[in-house]
Amino acid sequence: MALVLVQIVLVIRGHLMNNFWIVVDTVRIPDALKQLKMIAVLETVLPLYAGSDFDYLIEQSPLVINLGSDGTILEKWRTWSLFDSSSVIFTMDAEVDQYQLLDHLQALLTVKIEQTEFLFRFYTNVLWQQVAADLNHEDMATILGPASRLYWVDSSQNVQSFHKVHDKEKMQEKADETRPYHLTSSIFKQWV
């Protein structure tokens, strides 16, 4: 009963509880897990490649880590050595199952642009610095999946982000229908 009341109060106030999920490139930061354990409470740690088509590369797998709901984590993250260039953070409603996020991120590893499949290293900041300004709303919804926002640190050490637009449910349903995911923004078509 108390949990239901807390949820009702949070909805009334307009504050859905979000968790911050970092996806970190462990090839660039081999001791990422050790570093993160010293500076944050890690609620869940999942290897991105586990059970995916890239399972054979599990030793080089990026990690998907729930850093909890403390919004100050974004400011701290910006200052962590190497994390500013080798990780991104997704925010997701705490009620969403963690394996739904993992399944989505695994599907995002291989995307189609036009009719060509690409390895999509969505967990590197450089990618977002190059493409974020030119993403269409459909691709934003596809990339975010069950998450509500994606953050990265730009070359000036500023935290940048994009989020879903108003028709997010409709776009998410469309994105979920097709795998591999198809990206249609003009910036991606330049890669083909």
Q: What is the pLDDT of residues 46-60, one digit of tens each?
A: 999 999 999 999 999
As a whole number, mean pLDDT of residues 92-111 equals 96
Label residue 5 by pLDDT band (50, 70, 90). very low
2 has pLDDT over 60:
no
- What is the full DSSP assignment across the chain? -HHHHHHHHHHHHT---EEEEEEE-TTT-TTHHHHHHHHS--SEEEETTTTSTTGGGGGG--EEEE--S-TTHHHHHTTSTTHHHHEEEEEEETTS-HHHHHHHHHHHTEEEETTEEEE--TT-HHHHHHHGGG--HHHHHHHHTT-SEEEEE-TTS-EEEEE--TTHHHHHHHHHHSSSEEE--HHHHTT-
pTM of the model: 0.87
- 134-177 pLDDT, tens per residue? 999 999 999 999 999 999 999 999 999 999 885 545 555 555 56
What count of residues does the chain have? 192
Q: Is the pLDDT of residue 10 over 50?
A: no
User: Could you tell me the two tokens for 147?
Assistant: 């998450």
Handedness of CA 93, 95, 26, 117 (dihedral sign): negative
Confidence of residue 178 (pLDDT cuts 50, 70, 90): confident
| Residue whose C-alpha is closest to residue 98's, from 173, 164, 46 | 46
pLDDT reading at 17 higher than 80:
yes
Domain ranges of the chain: 16-189
